[in-house]
Amino acid sequence: MRATAQGQEDGTRASPRVEPGRGEPITVAWLHCFAGVAGDMVLGSLLDAGADLAEVLALLQRLPLGGWSLRAEPVLRAGIAATHAVVETTDDVVVRTYAHIVGLVEEARLPDRVARRALGTFAALAEVEGRLHRRPPQQVHFHEVGSHDTVIDVVGTAAALEVLGVDDVVSSPVATGMGTVRSAHGFLPNPSPAVVRLLQGIPTWGRDLPVELTTPTGAAIVATMATSFGPLPPMRIAASGFGAGTHEIDGLPNCTEVVVGESLAVAEAPGQPVMLLEANLDDATGEVLAHAVEVLLEAGAYDAWITPIVMKKGRPAHLVSVLVDPALTEVTRATLQAETGSLGVRGVLLQRWPAARVMDQVEVDGALVQVKISPGRVKVEQRDAARAASRRGLPLREVLHRAESVWRQQEEETPPPDRTPPRFPPESPEPA
């Protein structure tokens, strides 16, 4: 076991469990899949990093499943000390339906995060198996992945993450082998079709080795429990460990590594909630669309704009988008439909982070023009500038330039605030 003072061999947790989403550091586990990933390898790595075996077993024993045992066996893989999670069974039943496994996990009344992670992994396996064999997921019969050891590997991994207080799982790109592998259906290409489907959208790469480096169970764990993929994220490392595969591989440590620690990334401050409303229109004139945007802005929308699009059958059309306070969603939706004649409006709740700004005004040839000041820039209000340009017979760009110049000149001429400490008493004469 390789652990720091925060995760010693006395079974204490590798790092304090911190509730995510409040701006504080959270506990992260990074899986380094340089030699692939399998269920027993992930479980072994977490036990090696300090997850207390007795605590993990206490959670696993809630499963209504008999005829198994789990031990953490210290081994060497290419000279690296690792832990092999060994599951021994006395029950020969290896074929279970997805619904049967869901029932086992739900009946165990596991902690919410443990159950969610485990059920997510089995759901991914069922979906992939269903696609490959053209069956609904609920009717999928698991062969290898329905056996005792797979159930213990998956639920045990979720339990070990909970024992370590892991809030977020990150994974490196996943290595796979080549050639063929033996399965219940005969010989299959390596990586297997299930592994390829499970790793869809996940960074992966192949080693020129005729070995099944990544199993369907390992791929499902990574695909469902990891929230992002890449190199070791910024963290204050608390513990690390290696989970061993069953066999030695010449020239390569057959292990999955885990690094556990406190994330150094601070959660982004929540933004201002805004509702984006949209409608596709292929039968509205430019005049109607322009008027609709004007009415929407006057009704309180933060912004409104039009984008040319091409709809079905190649018809040219326009997308009307409106950004509005969520409290004004209903009235804005009704206005959008009334002004455009759209038969429907869709919406999605977003967040925005507007920069602070203040309004000021300057005088250009006797006309008052409003300006908007934000950090690093000043912007002249278009409507005021256009009105001043029309009244003074000037090009619009000239008024814009003059207004900005006047504001900058005023800023330069404004004396800085007096920060000299006041005399005390303020009007007392100098001492003789």
Is 242 found in the same domain as 283?
Answer: no
Which of 299, 325, 352 is where one domain is finished?
352
Which residue reads 């199993």 in tokens? 215
Q: Which residue, 60, 69, 46, is CA-closest to 114?
A: 60
pLDDT at 138: 61
Which of 263, 298, 328 is where one domain is finished?
263
At 255, is the secondary structure helix, strand, or coil? strand
**C-alpha to C-alpha distance for 39 and 223, rounded to whole angstroms:** 12
Is 141 found in the same domain as 35?
Answer: yes
Residue 333: CATH number of its domain: 3.30.70.1380
pLDDT at 374: 77
Q: List, in sequence order, the alpha helices (H) in 140-213.
A: 148-163, 193-198
134 domain-assigned: yes
**C-alpha to C-alpha distance for 105 and 158, rounded to whole angstroms:** 11
239 contacts 14 by C-beta, under 8 angstroms: yes
Is 404 found in the same domain as 298?
Answer: no
**C-alpha to C-alpha distance for 387 and 200, rounded to whole angstroms:** 57
**Tens place of pLDDT per residue across the chain (432 aa):** 344 333 333 333 333 334 444 456 799 999 999 999 999 999 999 999 999 999 999 999 999 988 899 999 999 999 999 999 999 887 655 567 788 888 999 999 999 999 999 999 999 998 887 787 666 656 555 644 447 888 999 999 999 999 999 999 999 999 999 998 776 666 889 898 999 999 998 999 999 999 999 999 999 999 999 999 999 999 999 999 999 999 999 989 999 999 999 998 655 667 889 999 999 999 999 999 999 999 999 999 999 999 999 988 888 999 999 999 999 999 999 999 999 999 899 999 998 887 777 888 888 888 888 888 877 678 888 888 888 888 888 898 888 888 888 888 887 776 655 544 444 444 444 443
Host H or E run for residue 75: strand 68-77
427 domain-assigned: no
Count other Cβ atoms within 10 Å, centred on residue 297: 13
104 domain-assigned: yes
Q: Which domain holds residue 179?
A: 2-263
- The number of distinct structural domains making up the chain is 3
432 domain-assigned: no
Is 336 found in the same domain as 233?
Answer: no
429 domain-assigned: no
Identify the DSSP state of 26.
Answer: -
Is 213 found in the same domain as 161?
Answer: yes
Tell me whether the omega of the peptide bond preceding residue 431 falls within 30 degrees of 0, making it cis: no
3-state helix, strand, coil in the chain (%, to 5): 35, 30, 35
423 domain-assigned: no
How remote is the C-alpha of 91 from its chain's centroid?
40
Identify the DSSP state of 252.
Answer: B
50 contacts 29 by C-beta, under 8 angstroms: no
Is 403 found in the same domain as 373?
Answer: yes
**C-alpha to C-alpha distance for 105 and 64, rounded to whole angstroms:** 8
pLDDT at 404: 85
Is 343 found in the same domain as 310?
Answer: yes
Which of 216, 234, 263 is where one domain is finished?
263
**C-alpha to C-alpha distance for 412 and 402, rounded to whole angstroms:** 15
15 domain-assigned: yes
Token reading at 260: 């556990």
Is 162 found in the same domain as 309?
Answer: no
